[in-house]
Amino acid sequence: MKKRQIVELLIIVVLGLVPLLWFHGNQVILGHDSGLTLSPISHFLDRLYPWTERFGFGNDQVYAIPGFFIHGLDALIALLGFQLQSVQKIAFIFWFVLPGLTMYYFSSKLSQKLNLKFFVLPTTVLYMFNHFLLQGWFVAERTKFSVYAALPLVMVFLFDWEEKRRSTFKTGLFMALTVFFLNGEASLPLFGGLILSVFAFIEFYLFKGFSRKKLKELGKLIGVFVLTSVALNAYWLFPYIAYILQSYSNAVLQAGGINGVLTWLTYVSQESSLVNIFRLQGIPEWYLNPRHPYAGVFLNNIFLIVIGFGIPIAAFLPLYLIKQREQKEKVIFFSFLALFSMIFIAGAHPPFGEIYIFLINFVPGFVAFRNPFYKFAPALWFSYAILIGFAINYLLQKIELRRKLLTYGLYLAFTLGIILYSYPFLNGVFFDYIKGERSMRVVVPQYIFDFGKWSDSKERLNTKVLALPPVNPDNKVDAYTWGYWSLSPLTSLLTNAPIVNESNFMSTDERNLTEGLYKMIKNNEPGWENLAKLLGIKSFLVRGDFAWDLKGSQTDNPSVYDKTLKSSSNLSLVKKFGAWEVFSFKDDVNADVVTTSKINYLVGDATDLGKIASLPFFDPKEPVYVSSNANKNAQDIMSLRNDLFLVPTCFSCNLQHIFINTDLYIPLITRGSIFYPLIEFKNKLAEKKLVKSPEKVNFYLYDSLRDILAFDKLVFENKDTYLLLLAISDYSKSLNNLDKSLKDYFKTESIDNNFLFEVSEVLGLEKNVVLFKNATNLPSGQVLDTLNKKYSDLKRIKDRIDKNISQTLDETNKKFLVNSNTDAQFEFLYKPKTVSTSWDKVNLTLDNRNLEIKTTQISAQWYALGKISLSKGLHRLIIKYPIENLYTSTASAQVSSLSDVCFSSNAIKAQKGDIYRVSFQHQRLFGSKKFFVRILPVGVKPNPLDARNNVLESASVSDNYRADYSLPEDQSFYLTVCSFPSADREDFASVLELKDINIRKIAIPEVVFYSPSSSKDTVDSNFSKKSQTEYTVSTDPKSMKKIVLLNESFNNNWIMPNAKDNIHFVANGYSNGWIVESANTQVIKYKAQDFVNIGFVLSFIALIASALYILRGRL
């Protein structure tokens, strides 16, 4: 190695120590999207398994296995005995210097070949210090850095291969090994820049001299690369492929479907104009975050703007300046790469935006590139670094002939200038991502570490803990008063113990169950302990330092939960860690694996578990099968049933419509598009696959919705009459098909009321589209007449459905459907939601029989209505529910326009999610001034300027006002009526009279039919846990059939390989249950672990083989 190279490398390594400047005192980098953990070793070990318990109920985590090297590095440093801050410092230095070293390797090879004397340092430093990496460092995005560092290596291997410096086979191996070690945690979108660069190389390679031989060599290279990569990455690739196939559509749906992705794309691409990209700007965060720590300086400082424009000038000047052929060739290539990458980086921004949108719509998998700037930008920064290096080299080589000292001075000055232009690197200010409010630099209180250590102890590692208070269910932000803020629960970064936090990893049932449990604990409702035990929760963690009142992610005060836990005689405070308190049940809770021969059977859904858990005789140790977790062997489960619970469904009890997001159904391609025949063809194919009647109804239902929305879109786009008529004709066809399929559906025996309700709601939505959108926008004529005919058809179909639905239509007649799966005698149990009303007797109608039943109170909430026999099948139940007026003041009131005093009701204390109905009669007594009505949280005064949509159109004749109020959070609210301000001079008062003022909660009573078992069985627990993916369990060989329960989230990958013909089902609404023939010992394992094990062996063999091949000549 030459002396100069040693000096250059030394400079790069010294610059790589910059991360040491980012830490002050005891700060560590934590939170946001960083994925940095508080316990690197245990976190790494957990990630070696495809199943994790860190999120409470257990989750598949095959997606996490490719993080082997990234998290392995942290674990390795921690293993050497370094404290967390030192671990982060060392790891950050590694990730900071790595792109520099790979770029140094690339540029030094180029400089040697092309005799570029002043090229290496500026190129390398620009690749290390730039705004793209700055933005990545704000969440310490190590996955991004790994692929970013891989880019120069892959390119240098390709250039060497092109010049025949290395064989095709060896090049393929080198490239595969690079991507193996620097794998970006297998996140495909992160490879966007690398893919573009390789694509540009291939284009150039073939363009320079196309021949069959070259094509063959290229094919060979790709083949070696792909095959070696598959073998090397087998440890994550095998299970990951299964995961991707399963989750791709879910991931798209989570992003709001293709339309959601497009909306997001347009949002993030607003500032990705070519002129910004040319200047290496347009980074979305700069413009979208008004409190970005440094963006404002670069956007507004005139001097920095000048430098910004100097960047593209410096980058493209070599095209003009450099004439030497070999150098020119490289300059042209990198200029081409820069321009080519800009098309993709700009995303949806003009002029190339439509092309990108087209790719998102029609290229499978391209939807993954929903953040184009961040994914494709490495190619631009890479090419700019090289091009600017050429420019500096050209300039300095010209000067060198005359002034050597000045040349070296300028060489260093340019290098220093590049660093200074990215000055936030020098103080770490980019970690303060919302200036003055949020930062990733936090000081973690010692008690957090103490809790983590305690939780990871052998005694606690398998104890399921519920974290309190809950996160805000809308955004699931986990935030603490000491500065941590992230969507990743802190506990998941701290310990491998199962700590339940509501997260996006949960299934819908798990989320509903957890939210239900939180609500019950908050209100100290009887039964919450039973539900917690049923979910396997043994302890409760109250986090007194939780930032519960943080703007945008408000939740409940931890003290509310603390109060409930402390009031429970079944719990005791077992440990206190600073602001964190841990409570545990005094008595036993089911272990992770239990066996029994009986199971309770619940006809209902998972949310009903909370209802039956509140029954005074409910035993949480006995497992429950929930019928909504449909299993083809439900009869076998029923044959082993213990107690039977029927929980009837009250349809539309809250009198609200279900929410249907119409944006998801607006077709992108409509009549008039060249692609429309393709859509029709695709629809016909889908139509042919329909077999069952409900499937057909569902298909034609949403087909009709899409058609009417397509028509609406055409109306909005002012398309001509011909196209509009064609669109109505399409709608007519789908309506006819729906009508026919509904007729077939009604002939079938099992009519699902819930499904019909959904059909009715969708058709109601279509009615709204026709009546309130199309009808008001269309001129009279042929289109409107045709539409009117179709509207009549729509109305007729909807009316027919509504006649067949059992749906609650008013507040007093609560309509239930009882679905009994057997003939049996049941205890009829009733839980009204109003406490002040006397419930000595209940009036109801059961299967058209009017009954008045005397009640017996069996607990604080539940009433027994006696025994009742129900035959197998559907039964209709209507319960008369009295209205309780919560308005306690005078029944009538007057409001005058001359007085500043508004009418205000008493405050009503209510909870989030509750729905209240407000009604009154209003009559104008004098004057013509307007009045407005508002329902407001207590403490908020009515603002007349914000009352335009709430004006009361009162007349001299009494009129009714009615409105429903849904609470966004726990609060007290009140009704107010005020006069509306008027610009006119008022000579006399306008007076409004209010009568029959009524404010009531729309209550949803609960009903359970309970049939106890004639015999019971004990619940045993005899098992051993080998790892988080394998258990052995002993069952009693005497009994014929046994039920085995594993207290982990249900997943088809959980198997009992030795139990032949076992029945796998969802137990307790979320966990795994099996019915097995009895045997002494059984194994429960997570199937994906086998793939991982085999994959690791394969990867290891491939790695050794690759290394041996590469080193064979040198050994």
Partner 1 sequence: MIKILKDYISRSYNWYKENHAKIIFVYIIHLVSYYLVNLPYINIIASLFLFLPYVIDWIVIMILFKPQKDLILKTGIGLFIISYLFVIVHISVALEFLGGMSYIMIGTYVILVIKEIKK
Helix (H) or strand (E) holding 1104: helix 1088-1111
Of 149, 150, 174, nearest in space to 160 by CA = 174
Of 163, 212, 213, 302, which lies in the binding site for partner 1, with binding defined by CB under 8 A? 302
The tokens for 301 are: 């400082």
Indicate the residue among 718 and 848 with the shorter CB distance to partner 1. 718
In angstroms, the CA 925 to CA 911 distance is 36
Size of the site for partner 1 (CB under 8 A): 39
- Choices 204-212, 432-440, 627-635, 737-745; region in contact with partner 1 by CB under 8 A: 204-212
User: Is residue 344 near partner 1 by the rule CB under 8 A?
Assistant: no
Q: Are 711 and 731 in contact (CB under 8 A)?
A: yes
Q: How far is the CB of 717 from partner 1 (least distance, A)?
A: 12
In angstroms, the CA 384 to CA 393 distance is 14
Of 274, 701, 878, 933, which lies in the binding site for partner 1, with binding defined by CB under 8 A? 274
User: Is residue 351 near partner 1 by the rule CB under 8 A?
Assistant: yes
Sequential DSSP letters for 606-643: TTHHHHHHTSTT--TTS-EEETTS--TTHHHHHHTEEE
Beta bridge partners of 896: 991
User: Is residue 319 near partner 1 by the rule CB under 8 A?
Assistant: yes
**Helix intervals (H) in 322-421:** 325-345, 353-362, 372-400, 404-421
User: Is residue 305 near partner 1 by the rule CB under 8 A?
Assistant: yes
In angstroms, the CA 128 to CA 385 distance is 10
Of 195, 222, 332, 1083, which lies in the binding site for partner 1, with binding defined by CB under 8 A? 332
User: Is residue 275 near partner 1 by the rule CB under 8 A?
Assistant: yes
Q: What are phi and psi for residue 976, nearest 5 degrees?
A: -140, 145
User: Is residue 306 near partner 1 by the rule CB under 8 A?
Assistant: yes
Indicate the residue among 339 and 690 with the shorter CB distance to partner 1. 339
- Choices 318-326, 679-687, 797-805, 1090-1098; region in contact with partner 1 by CB under 8 A: 318-326
User: Is residue 781 near partner 1 by the rule CB under 8 A?
Assistant: no
Could you tell me where the beta strands, DSSP code E, fall in 652-729? none
User: Is residue 339 near partner 1 by the rule CB under 8 A?
Assistant: yes
Q: How far is the CB of 134 from partner 1 (least distance, A)?
A: 20
In angstroms, the CA 567 to CA 582 distance is 14
- Choices 253-261, 329-337, 871-879, 1069-1077; region in contact with partner 1 by CB under 8 A: 329-337
**Number of neighbours of residue 637 by Cβ within 10 angstroms:** 19
In angstroms, the CA 923 to CA 828 distance is 46
Of 20, 215, 226, 355, which lies in the binding site for partner 1, with binding defined by CB under 8 A? 355
Of 594, 502, 490, nearest in space to 43 by CA = 490
Indicate the residue among 211 and 848 with the shorter CB distance to partner 1. 211
User: Is residue 328 near partner 1 by the rule CB under 8 A?
Assistant: yes
User: Is residue 1040 near partner 1 by the rule CB under 8 A?
Assistant: no
Sheet holding 841-846, edge to edge: 649-650, 813-820, 873-880, 841-846, 849-854
Indicate the residue among 343 and 842 with the shorter CB distance to partner 1. 343
Measured over the CA atoms of residue 111, residue 116, residue 119 and residue 121, the dihedral's sign is positive
1019 Cβ contact list (under 8 Å, min separation 6): 590, 594, 595, 596, 621, 622, 623
- Per-residue binding string, partner 1, 668-687, x by CB under 8 A, is ----xxxx------------
Of 39, 123, 183, 335, which lies in the binding site for partner 1, with binding defined by CB under 8 A? 335
Of 36, 221, 237, 342, which lies in the binding site for partner 1, with binding defined by CB under 8 A? 342
Indicate the residue among 722 and 1100 with the shorter CB distance to partner 1. 722
User: Is residue 276 near partner 1 by the rule CB under 8 A?
Assistant: yes
Q: How far is CA 230 from CA 173, 190, 194, 233, 397, in A?
A: 11, 18, 18, 5, 46
Q: How far is the CB of 369 from partner 1 (least distance, A)?
A: 17
Q: Which long-range contacts (CB under 8 A, 24 or more apart) does 602-606 make?
A: 602/626, 602/627, 602/645, 602/647, 603/627, 603/644, 603/645, 603/646, 603/647, 603/819, 603/820, 603/821, 604/628, 604/645, 604/646, 604/647, 604/649, 605/509, 605/647, 606/509, 606/512, 606/513, 606/1069, 606/1070
- Choices 155-163, 325-333, 914-922, 1013-1021; region in contact with partner 1 by CB under 8 A: 325-333
Sequential DSSP letters for 568-589: -TTEEEEEEETTEEEEEESS--
User: Is residue 317 near partner 1 by the rule CB under 8 A?
Assistant: yes
User: Is residue 406 near partner 1 by the rule CB under 8 A?
Assistant: no
Q: Are 1013 and 642 in contact (CB under 8 A)?
A: yes
Binders of partner 1 among residues 905 to 944 (CB under 8 A) are none
Q: How far is the CB of 384 from partner 1 (least distance, A)?
A: 13
Q: How far is the CB of 275 from partner 1 (least distance, A)?
A: 3
Q: How far is the CB of 354 from partner 1 (least distance, A)?
A: 5
- Per-residue binding string, partner 1, 627-666, x by CB under 8 A, is ----------------------------------------
Region of residue 248 (left: phi > 0; alpha: psi -120 to 50; beta: else): alpha
Indicate the residue among 165 and 566 with the shorter CB distance to partner 1. 165
Of 219, 223, 296, 350, which lies in the binding site for partner 1, with binding defined by CB under 8 A? 350
User: Is residue 1083 near partner 1 by the rule CB under 8 A?
Assistant: no
In angstroms, the CA 776 to CA 298 distance is 49
Of 187, 273, 921, 1034, which lies in the binding site for partner 1, with binding defined by CB under 8 A? 273
User: Is residue 354 near partner 1 by the rule CB under 8 A?
Assistant: yes
Q: Which amino acid is at 308?
A: G
Of 203, 89, 193, 91, nearest in space to 149 by CA = 193
Of 117, 208, 743, 995, which lies in the binding site for partner 1, with binding defined by CB under 8 A? 208
Q: How far is the CB of 1096 from partner 1 (least distance, A)?
A: 45
Indicate the residue among 679 and 907 with the shorter CB distance to partner 1. 679
Of 14, 117, 267, 358, which lies in the binding site for partner 1, with binding defined by CB under 8 A? 358
User: Is residue 401 near partner 1 by the rule CB under 8 A?
Assistant: no
Of 904, 872, 877, 1086, nearest in space to 977 by CA = 904
Quote the DSSP letter at residue 839. Answer: -
Residues that bind partner 1 (CB under 8 A): 204, 207-209, 273-278, 302, 305-306, 308-309, 312-313, 316-317, 319-320, 325, 328-329, 332-333, 335-336, 339, 342, 350-351, 354-355, 358, 672-675
